[in-house]
Amino acid sequence: MIGAVLWILLGWFVAGALGYLVLGCLGVPQTLRRSRYVLKTSESFAGDTAMLAGLSLLTGLGMTAMLIWLRLQSDMLMKIPVMVLDGSFIVMLIAVLGLRRRFFPVIAKGDEQTIRQAVASVEEKSGVLNLVLMLWGWLMVALMTAGVVMNFARRPWGDWDAIMIWTVRARFINRAGTHWADTFTLPAIHPDYPLLIPLSIHRLWQYPMVELPLAPQLVGATFLVSCMLILWGTLRKYRGSAIAWLGLILLIGNPFFVNFGSLQLADVPLAVAFMAAWAMVLLASHEYAANRSSMRWWVVAGVMFGLTLWIKNEGMMMLLASGAGLIVGWSVLLKQDAHARRIVQLKTLARRMILPVFTGFFPFLLVWLWAKMTLVASNDLLRAQSQNAQMEKLTDVSRHTEILRAYEHMIAFNKPVWCSVMLVLLILLAGWHVSALGSAGRMLYGMAIAIIVCMLGYYTVYLLSPYDLAWHLETSLSRLMTQFWPAFVLWAMMVVNLSWLRTKP
């Protein structure tokens, strides 16, 4: 038993290491070091490390799931143990990293000395408020951990959705061997849903060859922890320690977020990928405006957008909404170069932003399309509804009323929604800080648009739902709203002006 647990933990660690190496090949850790020390900015070491750890875990899960998908497609690869496959991939990445360092060094020779000398000059001194918030934050993290552990112990396989949609499919793949695709036939298990989570669980089970509930629990916990690290790291970088802790406290203070995450529902992983993608967009915009190379950050943003597609079907809606948000954000960003000609601006946009985002996104799109074409099947929400029936539903006033009533009920009784309202009130009373954050601040308009468009999209899905509307709303509305929680907290904490509390900037 202990041996199996250790094997699963090793599998998890290998995924994180793979993610780190992929980011290393993109030059992400090196760039963070350079921007921190060589350029003598005040961006923090702790924030960067947290962000890097979170991104490594997410990227690692995404990449290893893709690797497992390739393994499932070939009888020859199926004979190779997953561990060997992971090991080969690690060796390949280390080789690429070595070549990259040899031929495309991010840090020039001689900079190392500068780095060491500059360390002392960039460390921030923490105030009493920072200290109080930090201690309070750690207390909240301890409480959250207690809740998560209790949920894992009392519901080891998670909630119904986790069992029927994610873990069962992992078991089908794990137990059916080469016949795994034959088991993806019934609508009850949603065979059209993307495969990141089932494949990640299956991969962890392949290490000890025992199906322990630790594997799905670890996948769920990884997304929770990554979310905390990326949110805290991003806020630490831009808004200082106090607001970073405040954001973290608010994030984990939402019991729906903690509960759904520890019940292994896919809504939390989706929420994390969405938030991480926008955090990277903000970072890339910041680097672009500072005339530093932003391309690798756009690639990482593309990877995170790819994860939204590879986690859950709702990721498609998030991608569409993010597309709208990015168009707005990019147009605001390019307006800065008012002296440049329009055609030059568009070329810059295509070459330095759109292309890198698509580069990061493309592998996930490819695998997603591959799975859609080989496995199934249309989505249960969309199939077999005539256009007339859809138009009738769109214009049916009673459906609009029912959905709005459900929203009203949620606002009245859902405490995290109260918290969101309070956050908006706080922003209105304390003021907002968009212009002080430069380009990253202007990108926040795009982020707000993405969240709003996505919410409107979900509203339309409810209108067109083939299921009993009351049942559909009751069983999914709180989960869908939780999908926006991390991104909303990040947005609110980036926007709110608490300079009167002597926070950065």
Q: Does 176 bind other proteins (CB under 8 A)?
A: yes
Name residues contacting other proteins, limited to 140-159 (CB under 8 A). Answer: 140, 143-144, 146-147, 150-151, 153-157, 159
User: Could you give the CA distance from residue 100 to residue 27 in angstroms, rounded to a whole number?
Assistant: 9
Q: Which long-range contacts (CB under 8 A, 24 or more apart) does 83-88 make?
A: 83/11, 83/14, 83/206, 83/207, 86/11, 86/14, 86/15, 86/18
User: Among 175, 347, 405, 409, which residue interacts with other proteins (rule: CB under 8 A)?
Assistant: 175
- DSSP state at residue 124: P
Is there a contact between 236 and 45 (Cβ–Cβ < 8 Å)?
A: no
Complex with other proteins: residue 15 or 195, whichever CB lies closer: 195
From 227-235, 267-275, 298-306, 412-420, give the range in contact with other proteins by CB under 8 A: 412-420
User: Could you give the CA distance from residue 183 to residue 237 in angstroms, rounded to a whole number?
Assistant: 47
From 97-105, 171-179, 268-276, 341-349, give the range in contact with other proteins by CB under 8 A: 171-179
Complex with other proteins: residue 18 or 170, whichever CB lies closer: 170
CA dihedral 30, 35, 36, 42 (to 10 degrees): -160
CB of 230 to other proteins, least distance (A): 19
Nearest C-alpha neighbor of 206 from the set 89, 79, 307, 92? 79
Residues 6+ apart with CB under 8 A from 235: 47, 243, 244, 247, 248, 490, 493, 494
Complex with other proteins: residue 33 or 442, whichever CB lies closer: 442
Q: Does 413 bind other proteins (CB under 8 A)?
A: no
From 13-21, 83-91, 135-143, 233-241, give the range in contact with other proteins by CB under 8 A: 135-143
CB of 410 to other proteins, least distance (A): 16
CB of 294 to other proteins, least distance (A): 27
Name residues contacting other proteins, limited to 420-439 (CB under 8 A). Answer: 422-423, 425-426, 429-433, 436
User: Could you give the CA distance from residue 12 to residue 208 in angstroms, rounded to a whole number?
Assistant: 12
User: Among 98, 255, 323, 505, which residue interacts with other proteins (rule: CB under 8 A)?
Assistant: 255
Plot region of 413 (φ>0 → left; ψ -120 to 50 → alpha; else → beta) = alpha
Q: Does 410 bind other proteins (CB under 8 A)?
A: no
User: Could you give the CA distance from residue 400 to residue 463 in angstroms, rounded to a whole number?
Assistant: 7
How many residues bind to other proteins according to rule CB under 8 A? 67
Complex with other proteins: residue 140 or 354, whichever CB lies closer: 140
Which residue has 């923490």 as its token pair? 126
The DSSP result for 289-311, as a single string, is HTTS--HHHHHHHHHHHHHHHHH
User: Could you give the CA distance from residue 356 to residue 352 in angstroms, rounded to a whole number?
Assistant: 7
Q: Does 342 bind other proteins (CB under 8 A)?
A: no
CB of 148 to other proteins, least distance (A): 10
From 17-25, 79-87, 248-256, 368-376, give the range in contact with other proteins by CB under 8 A: 248-256
Q: Does 390 bind other proteins (CB under 8 A)?
A: no
From 54-62, 71-79, 359-367, 411-419, give the range in contact with other proteins by CB under 8 A: 411-419
User: Among 73, 117, 185, 395, which residue interacts with other proteins (rule: CB under 8 A)?
Assistant: 185
User: Could you give the CA distance from residue 196 to residue 6 in angstroms, rounded to a whole number?
Assistant: 22
Q: Does 419 bind other proteins (CB under 8 A)?
A: yes
Q: How far, rounded to the nearest angstrom, does the alpha carbon of residue 428 sit from its chain's CA centroid?
A: 28
Q: Does 348 bind other proteins (CB under 8 A)?
A: no
Nearest C-alpha neighbor of 315 from the set 325, 302, 328, 305? 305
CB of 117 to other proteins, least distance (A): 36
User: Could you give the CA distance from residue 275 to residue 372 in angstroms, rounded to a whole number?
Assistant: 25
Nearest C-alpha neighbor of 414 from the set 483, 482, 468? 482
CB of 499 to other proteins, least distance (A): 7
Complex with other proteins: residue 355 or 410, whichever CB lies closer: 410
Q: Does 168 bind other proteins (CB under 8 A)?
A: yes
- Tell me which residues touch other proteins (CB under 8 A): 133, 136, 139-140, 143-144, 146-147, 150-151, 153-157, 159-160, 163-164, 167-168, 171-172, 175-177, 179-180, 182-183, 185-189, 246, 249-250, 252-255, 258-259, 380, 383-385, 415-416, 419, 422-423, 425-426, 429-433, 436, 466-467, 497-500
